[in-house]
Structure 1
Protein backbone atom coordinates (compact mmCIF):
# COMPACT_ATOMS: atom_id res chain seq x y z
CA UNK A 1 0.00 0.00 0.00
CA UNK A 2 1.16 3.53 -0.77
CA UNK A 3 2.26 5.65 2.17
CA UNK A 4 1.33 8.83 0.31
CA UNK A 5 -1.91 10.72 0.80
CA UNK A 6 -5.22 9.43 -0.50
CA UNK A 7 -5.87 11.65 -3.52
CA UNK A 8 -9.45 12.14 -4.71
CA UNK A 9 -10.16 14.22 -7.81
CA UNK A 10 -8.07 15.70 -10.60
CA UNK A 11 -9.22 19.31 -10.57
CA UNK A 12 -7.12 22.48 -10.40
CA UNK A 13 -8.30 23.54 -6.93
CA UNK A 14 -6.04 21.68 -4.52
CA UNK A 15 -6.90 20.84 -0.92
CA UNK A 16 -4.75 19.34 1.82
CA UNK A 17 -7.11 17.59 4.27
CA UNK A 18 -5.95 17.03 7.87
CA UNK A 19 -7.80 14.40 9.88
CA UNK A 20 -8.69 14.56 13.56
CA UNK A 21 -7.44 12.52 16.50
CA UNK A 22 -9.94 9.74 15.80
CA UNK A 23 -9.50 9.98 12.03
CA UNK A 24 -7.22 8.97 9.17
CA UNK A 25 -7.16 9.42 5.41
CA UNK A 26 -9.95 6.82 5.36
CA UNK A 27 -11.84 8.48 8.22
CA UNK A 28 -13.87 11.04 6.30
CA UNK A 29 -17.12 9.10 6.06
CA UNK A 30 -19.00 9.65 2.79
CA UNK A 31 -17.58 13.15 2.32
CA UNK A 32 -15.07 12.13 -0.41
CA UNK A 33 -17.89 10.62 -2.48
CA UNK A 34 -19.61 13.99 -2.81
CA UNK A 35 -16.68 16.25 -3.69
CA UNK A 36 -16.43 17.72 -7.19
CA UNK A 37 -13.62 15.64 -8.67
CA UNK A 38 -13.42 17.74 -11.82
CA UNK A 39 -12.91 21.05 -10.04
CA UNK A 40 -10.97 19.79 -7.02
CA UNK A 41 -8.07 17.56 -6.03
CA UNK A 42 -8.11 16.50 -2.39
CA UNK A 43 -5.07 15.00 -0.67
CA UNK A 44 -6.37 13.24 2.44
CA UNK A 45 -3.31 13.04 4.68
CA UNK A 46 -2.32 10.57 7.37
CA UNK A 47 -0.42 11.52 10.50
CA UNK A 48 2.45 9.24 11.43
CA UNK A 49 1.10 6.03 12.91
CA UNK A 50 -2.26 6.43 11.15
CA UNK A 51 -3.87 4.92 8.04
CA UNK A 52 -1.46 4.40 5.16
CA UNK A 53 1.38 5.53 7.42
CA UNK A 54 0.50 3.27 10.31
CA UNK A 55 4.00 1.78 10.28
CA UNK A 56 5.70 5.19 10.31
CA UNK A 57 6.81 6.36 13.75
CA UNK A 58 7.68 9.87 14.82
CA UNK A 59 7.53 12.53 17.50
CA UNK A 60 3.75 12.95 17.02
CA UNK A 61 3.76 16.74 17.18
CA UNK A 62 1.76 19.37 15.34
CA UNK A 63 4.98 20.66 13.80
CA UNK A 64 5.70 17.18 12.45
CA UNK A 65 2.23 16.92 10.91
CA UNK A 66 2.78 20.31 9.28
CA UNK A 67 6.20 19.39 7.91
CA UNK A 68 4.93 16.06 6.59
CA UNK A 69 2.00 17.81 4.90
CA UNK A 70 4.34 20.24 3.16
CA UNK A 71 6.48 17.31 2.02
CA UNK A 72 3.37 15.59 0.65
CA UNK A 73 2.39 18.76 -1.23
CA UNK A 74 5.90 18.99 -2.68
CA UNK A 75 5.74 15.36 -3.80
CA UNK A 76 2.43 16.07 -5.54
CA UNK A 77 3.88 19.14 -7.22
CA UNK A 78 1.47 21.47 -5.44
CA UNK A 79 2.93 24.93 -4.88
CA UNK A 80 -0.22 26.48 -3.38
CA UNK A 81 -3.33 24.92 -1.89
CA UNK A 82 -6.32 25.26 0.41
CA UNK A 83 -6.35 23.69 3.88
CA UNK A 84 -9.19 21.62 5.37
CA UNK A 85 -8.79 20.50 8.97
CA UNK A 86 -11.01 18.50 11.28
CA UNK A 87 -10.60 18.83 15.06
CA UNK A 88 -6.91 18.15 15.85
CA UNK A 89 -6.20 18.53 12.14
CA UNK A 90 -7.33 22.16 12.23
CA UNK A 91 -4.69 22.90 14.88
CA UNK A 92 -2.08 21.15 12.73
CA UNK A 93 -3.08 23.08 9.61
CA UNK A 94 -2.53 26.35 11.47
CA UNK A 95 1.03 25.21 12.16
CA UNK A 96 1.46 24.78 8.40
CA UNK A 97 0.02 28.26 7.90
CA UNK A 98 2.67 29.66 10.24
CA UNK A 99 5.42 27.68 8.52
CA UNK A 100 4.46 28.52 4.92
CA UNK A 101 1.82 31.27 4.74
CA UNK A 102 2.72 32.10 1.14
CA UNK A 103 1.58 28.65 -0.01
CA UNK A 104 -1.85 28.74 1.65
CA UNK A 105 -4.91 30.12 -0.13
CA UNK A 106 -7.85 29.57 2.27
CA UNK A 107 -8.53 27.56 5.44
CA UNK A 108 -11.68 25.63 6.37
CA UNK A 109 -11.92 24.46 9.96
CA UNK A 110 -14.41 21.71 10.76
CA UNK A 111 -15.01 21.48 14.50
CA UNK A 112 -11.44 22.64 14.71
CA UNK A 113 -9.11 23.04 17.67
CA UNK A 114 -8.19 26.74 17.61
CA UNK A 115 -4.72 28.26 17.67
CA UNK A 116 -4.75 28.24 21.47
CA UNK A 117 -4.69 24.45 21.52
CA UNK A 118 -7.33 22.42 23.30
CA UNK A 119 -6.55 23.67 26.82
CA UNK A 120 -8.23 20.63 28.36
CA UNK A 121 -8.52 20.63 32.14
CA UNK A 122 -7.34 17.66 34.20
CA UNK A 123 -10.76 16.00 34.43
CA UNK A 124 -11.46 16.13 30.70
CA UNK A 125 -7.90 15.16 29.84
CA UNK A 126 -8.31 12.11 32.06
CA UNK A 127 -11.32 11.02 30.00
CA UNK A 128 -9.35 11.36 26.79
CA UNK A 129 -6.27 9.64 28.22
CA UNK A 130 -8.19 6.38 28.63
CA UNK A 131 -9.03 6.21 24.92
CA UNK A 132 -5.77 4.85 23.44
CA UNK A 133 -6.10 1.55 25.32
CA UNK A 134 -9.88 1.29 25.49
CA UNK A 135 -12.43 0.86 22.71
CA UNK A 136 -15.20 1.54 25.22
CA UNK A 137 -13.60 4.86 26.12
CA UNK A 138 -13.46 5.79 22.44
CA UNK A 139 -17.13 4.90 22.05
CA UNK A 140 -17.99 7.01 25.09
CA UNK A 141 -16.05 10.00 23.77
CA UNK A 142 -17.78 9.69 20.39
CA UNK A 143 -21.20 9.75 22.07
CA UNK A 144 -20.11 12.78 24.10
CA UNK A 145 -18.79 14.64 21.05
CA UNK A 146 -22.03 14.11 19.11
CA UNK A 147 -24.37 15.18 21.90
CA UNK A 148 -25.31 11.65 23.03
CA UNK A 149 -28.10 11.61 20.46
CA UNK A 150 -26.96 9.06 17.85
CA UNK A 151 -27.27 5.25 17.93
CA UNK A 152 -24.62 3.05 19.50
CA UNK A 153 -23.81 1.72 16.03
CA UNK A 154 -22.62 5.17 14.95
CA UNK A 155 -20.31 5.65 17.92
CA UNK A 156 -19.04 2.09 17.54
CA UNK A 157 -18.19 2.71 13.89
CA UNK A 158 -16.18 5.87 14.62
CA UNK A 159 -14.38 4.21 17.53
CA UNK A 160 -13.67 0.94 15.70
CA UNK A 161 -12.35 2.72 12.61
CA UNK A 162 -10.16 4.84 14.86
CA UNK A 163 -8.71 1.79 16.58
CA UNK A 164 -8.13 -0.03 13.29
CA UNK A 165 -6.48 2.93 11.56
CA UNK A 166 -3.98 4.05 14.19
CA UNK A 167 -1.40 2.53 16.48
CA UNK A 168 -1.84 2.89 20.22
CA UNK A 169 1.53 4.65 20.36
CA UNK A 170 0.59 7.24 17.75
CA UNK A 171 -2.91 7.77 19.10
CA UNK A 172 -1.57 8.34 22.61
CA UNK A 173 1.36 10.37 21.35
CA UNK A 174 -0.79 12.88 19.50
CA UNK A 175 -3.06 13.64 22.48
CA UNK A 176 -1.08 16.20 24.48
CA UNK A 177 0.20 18.12 21.44
CA UNK A 178 -3.36 19.15 20.59
CA UNK A 179 -5.07 18.88 23.99
CA UNK A 180 -2.45 20.99 25.76
CA UNK A 181 -0.34 22.12 22.86
CA UNK A 182 1.59 25.36 22.63
CA UNK A 183 -0.60 28.38 22.01
CA UNK A 184 0.27 29.76 18.56
CA UNK A 185 -2.45 32.39 18.47
CA UNK A 186 0.02 35.28 18.39
CA UNK A 187 1.70 33.70 15.37
CA UNK A 188 -1.52 33.49 13.37
CA UNK A 189 -3.14 36.65 14.67
CA UNK A 190 -3.73 39.15 11.90
CA UNK A 191 -2.94 36.84 8.98
CA UNK A 192 -5.23 37.85 6.14
CA UNK A 193 -5.99 34.41 4.70
CA UNK A 194 -9.75 33.80 4.32
CA UNK A 195 -10.95 31.39 7.00
CA UNK A 196 -14.23 29.58 7.54
CA UNK A 197 -14.71 27.88 10.92
CA UNK A 198 -17.82 25.77 11.43
CA UNK A 199 -18.88 23.64 14.38
CA UNK A 200 -21.63 21.10 14.90
CA UNK A 201 -24.87 22.12 16.59
CA UNK A 202 -24.55 19.29 19.12
CA UNK A 203 -20.78 19.42 19.74
CA UNK A 204 -20.57 20.21 23.49
CA UNK A 205 -16.93 21.31 23.50
CA UNK A 206 -16.08 23.07 20.24
CA UNK A 207 -18.97 25.50 20.07
CA UNK A 208 -19.72 28.68 18.13
CA UNK A 209 -18.94 30.61 21.32
CA UNK A 210 -15.45 29.09 21.32
CA UNK A 211 -15.07 29.95 17.64
CA UNK A 212 -16.09 33.54 18.33
CA UNK A 213 -13.44 33.89 21.05
CA UNK A 214 -10.68 32.27 19.00
CA UNK A 215 -10.99 31.91 15.23
CA UNK A 216 -12.95 35.14 14.80
CA UNK A 217 -10.61 36.96 17.17
CA UNK A 218 -7.38 35.82 15.52
CA UNK A 219 -8.22 36.00 11.81
CA UNK A 220 -9.48 39.31 10.36
CA UNK A 221 -11.08 37.61 7.32
CA UNK A 222 -13.00 34.89 9.14
CA UNK A 223 -16.57 33.65 9.13
CA UNK A 224 -17.97 31.31 11.73
CA UNK A 225 -21.15 29.30 11.94
CA UNK A 226 -22.94 26.19 13.12
CA UNK A 227 -23.78 23.11 11.06
CA UNK A 228 -27.36 22.12 11.91
CA UNK A 229 -28.22 18.67 13.23
CA UNK A 230 -24.61 17.52 13.57
CA UNK A 231 -22.12 16.92 16.33
CA UNK A 232 -18.35 16.62 16.01
CA UNK A 233 -18.30 14.42 12.90
CA UNK A 234 -20.05 16.33 10.12
CA UNK A 235 -18.22 14.31 7.45
CA UNK A 236 -20.21 11.30 8.70
CA UNK A 237 -23.36 13.11 9.86
CA UNK A 238 -23.88 15.50 6.92
CA UNK A 239 -21.32 14.66 4.22
CA UNK A 240 -23.12 16.06 1.17
CA UNK A 241 -23.90 19.32 2.95
CA UNK A 242 -20.27 19.57 4.06
CA UNK A 243 -18.92 19.00 0.55
CA UNK A 244 -21.12 21.79 -0.78
CA UNK A 245 -20.06 24.14 2.02
CA UNK A 246 -16.34 23.45 1.66
CA UNK A 247 -16.32 23.86 -2.11
CA UNK A 248 -18.50 26.97 -2.18
CA UNK A 249 -16.03 28.63 0.20
CA UNK A 250 -12.91 27.56 -1.67
CA UNK A 251 -14.35 28.61 -5.04
CA UNK A 252 -15.66 31.94 -3.80
CA UNK A 253 -13.79 34.92 -5.23
CA UNK A 254 -11.79 36.86 -2.67
Structure 2
Protein backbone atom coordinates (compact mmCIF):
# COMPACT_ATOMS: atom_id res chain seq x y z
CA UNK A 1 0.00 0.00 0.00
CA UNK A 2 1.38 3.41 -0.94
CA UNK A 3 2.18 5.92 1.77
CA UNK A 4 -0.54 8.27 0.48
CA UNK A 5 -3.18 5.52 0.43
CA UNK A 6 -2.11 4.35 3.85
CA UNK A 7 -2.38 7.91 5.13
CA UNK A 8 -5.90 8.32 3.63
CA UNK A 9 -7.00 4.98 5.08
CA UNK A 10 -5.67 5.91 8.51
CA UNK A 11 -7.40 9.28 8.33
CA UNK A 12 -10.71 7.66 7.36
CA UNK A 13 -10.52 5.12 10.16
CA UNK A 14 -9.52 7.78 12.67
CA UNK A 15 -12.51 9.93 11.71
CA UNK A 16 -14.95 7.04 12.05
CA UNK A 17 -13.48 5.80 15.29
CA UNK A 18 -12.25 9.11 16.67
CA UNK A 19 -14.22 8.76 19.90
CA UNK A 20 -12.84 5.29 20.47
CA UNK A 21 -9.38 6.49 19.53
CA UNK A 22 -9.46 9.38 22.02
CA UNK A 23 -10.90 7.23 24.79
CA UNK A 24 -8.08 4.71 24.42
CA UNK A 25 -5.37 7.35 24.59
CA UNK A 26 -4.64 7.10 20.86
CA UNK A 27 -2.67 3.92 21.49
CA UNK A 28 -4.55 1.32 19.42
CA UNK A 29 -3.93 0.16 15.87
CA UNK A 30 -6.29 0.96 13.02
CA UNK A 31 -7.40 -2.67 12.91
CA UNK A 32 -8.22 -2.66 16.63
CA UNK A 33 -10.18 0.61 16.34
CA UNK A 34 -12.08 -0.68 13.32
CA UNK A 35 -12.92 -3.96 15.03
CA UNK A 36 -14.31 -2.24 18.13
CA UNK A 37 -16.18 0.31 16.04
CA UNK A 38 -17.70 -2.46 13.90
CA UNK A 39 -18.58 -4.54 16.97
CA UNK A 40 -20.25 -1.54 18.59
CA UNK A 41 -22.25 -0.66 15.49
CA UNK A 42 -23.29 -4.28 14.82
CA UNK A 43 -24.57 -4.78 18.35
CA UNK A 44 -26.40 -1.50 18.73
CA UNK A 45 -30.00 -0.66 17.99
CA UNK A 46 -30.22 2.98 16.91
CA UNK A 47 -33.18 3.80 19.19
CA UNK A 48 -31.49 2.15 22.16
CA UNK A 49 -28.25 4.03 21.49
CA UNK A 50 -30.06 7.36 21.24
CA UNK A 51 -31.92 6.69 24.49
CA UNK A 52 -28.69 5.65 26.20
CA UNK A 53 -26.87 8.78 25.05
CA UNK A 54 -29.81 10.98 26.13
CA UNK A 55 -29.71 9.41 29.59
CA UNK A 56 -26.08 10.52 29.97
CA UNK A 57 -26.73 14.05 28.82
CA UNK A 58 -30.24 14.74 30.09
CA UNK A 59 -30.53 12.97 33.41
CA UNK A 60 -28.99 14.12 36.68
CA UNK A 61 -29.31 11.58 39.46
CA UNK A 62 -26.66 13.12 41.69
CA UNK A 63 -29.13 14.65 44.16
CA UNK A 64 -30.88 11.29 44.57
CA UNK A 65 -27.69 9.36 45.34
CA UNK A 66 -25.67 12.06 47.08
CA UNK A 67 -24.54 10.99 50.54
CA UNK A 68 -25.47 7.35 50.10
CA UNK A 69 -23.42 4.88 52.05
CA UNK A 70 -23.84 2.10 49.48
CA UNK A 71 -20.48 0.88 48.30
CA UNK A 72 -19.74 1.92 44.73
CA UNK A 73 -16.91 0.71 42.55
CA UNK A 74 -15.50 2.34 39.44
CA UNK A 75 -13.04 0.71 37.06
CA UNK A 76 -11.18 3.27 35.00
CA UNK A 77 -8.47 3.17 32.41
CA UNK A 78 -5.60 5.57 32.95
CA UNK A 79 -5.66 6.48 29.23
CA UNK A 80 -9.36 7.46 29.16
CA UNK A 81 -9.29 11.22 28.74
CA UNK A 82 -12.97 11.54 29.65
CA UNK A 83 -12.84 9.81 33.03
CA UNK A 84 -9.72 10.47 35.04
CA UNK A 85 -9.32 9.04 38.53
CA UNK A 86 -9.27 12.56 39.97
CA UNK A 87 -12.45 13.56 38.11
CA UNK A 88 -14.33 10.45 39.23
CA UNK A 89 -13.19 10.85 42.85
CA UNK A 90 -14.28 14.50 42.83
CA UNK A 91 -17.70 13.87 41.25
CA UNK A 92 -18.89 10.33 41.96
CA UNK A 93 -16.87 10.32 45.19
CA UNK A 94 -18.85 13.32 46.42
CA UNK A 95 -22.08 11.34 45.95
CA UNK A 96 -20.99 7.95 47.27
CA UNK A 97 -19.21 8.00 50.63
CA UNK A 98 -17.79 4.51 50.04
CA UNK A 99 -16.35 4.76 46.55
CA UNK A 100 -13.54 2.48 45.41
CA UNK A 101 -11.74 3.56 42.26
CA UNK A 102 -9.63 0.99 40.46
CA UNK A 103 -7.48 2.55 37.74
CA UNK A 104 -6.16 0.03 35.25
CA UNK A 105 -2.80 0.94 33.77
CA UNK A 106 -2.22 1.10 30.01
CA UNK A 107 -5.98 0.99 29.45
CA UNK A 108 -8.53 3.43 28.14
CA UNK A 109 -12.32 3.48 28.27
CA UNK A 110 -12.74 -0.13 27.18
CA UNK A 111 -10.80 -2.29 29.68
CA UNK A 112 -12.97 -5.32 28.92
CA UNK A 113 -11.59 -5.22 25.36
CA UNK A 114 -8.17 -3.68 25.96
CA UNK A 115 -7.07 -5.90 28.84
CA UNK A 116 -9.74 -8.58 29.22
CA UNK A 117 -7.82 -10.94 31.51
CA UNK A 118 -7.00 -8.15 33.96
CA UNK A 119 -10.55 -6.80 33.77
CA UNK A 120 -12.08 -10.21 34.46
CA UNK A 121 -9.75 -10.60 37.44
CA UNK A 122 -10.62 -7.15 38.80
CA UNK A 123 -14.41 -7.42 38.76
CA UNK A 124 -14.77 -10.33 41.24
CA UNK A 125 -12.28 -8.66 43.61
CA UNK A 126 -14.40 -5.49 43.65
CA UNK A 127 -17.66 -7.40 44.05
CA UNK A 128 -16.29 -9.27 47.05
CA UNK A 129 -15.34 -6.08 48.90
CA UNK A 130 -17.73 -4.94 51.62
Provide the TM-score with structure 1 as the length reference: 0.43
- Superposed, 1:90-129 pairs within 5 Å as none
2:63 corresponds to: 186
1:234 corresponds to: 111
Structure ID, larger Rg:
2
1:221 corresponds to: 98
Instruction: Tell me the distance in 1 between the aligned counterparts of 2:16 and 2:46.
Output: 12
Deviation digits for residues 25-82 of structure 1 (CA, Å, limit 9, x no counterpart): xxxxxxxxxxxxxxxxxxxxxxxxxxxxxxxxxxxxxxxxxxxxxxxxxxxxxxxxxx
Which residue, 17, 20, 36 being the options, matches 1:142? 20
1:165 corresponds to: 43
CA shift, 1:243, in A, is 1.4
Provide the TM-score with structure 2 as the length reference: 0.81
Would the aligned equivalents of 1:197 and 1:215 in 2 still touch at CA under 8 Å? no
Would the aligned equivalents of 2:79 and 2:106 in 1 still touch at CA under 8 Å? yes
Would the aligned equivalents of 2:14 and 2:21 in 1 still touch at CA under 8 Å? no
- Pick the structure with more helix per residue: 2
Q: Which runs of 5+ in 2 are unaligned?
A: 1-12
Which residue, 154, 162, 166 being the options, matches 2:32? 154
Q: What is the alpha-carbon root mean square deviation over aligned residues?
A: 1.8
Q: Which runs of 5+ in 1 are unaligned?
A: 1-134
User: Are 2:52 and 1:174 aligned?
Assistant: yes
2:5 corresponds to: none
Would the aligned equivalents of 1:197 and 1:222 in 2 still touch at CA under 8 Å? yes
Deviation digits for residues 163-213 of structure 1 (CA, Å, limit 9, x no counterpart): 1111333323432221x1221111011222111212111101111121111
User: Are 2:82 and 1:196 aligned?
Assistant: no
Number of residue pairs matched? 118
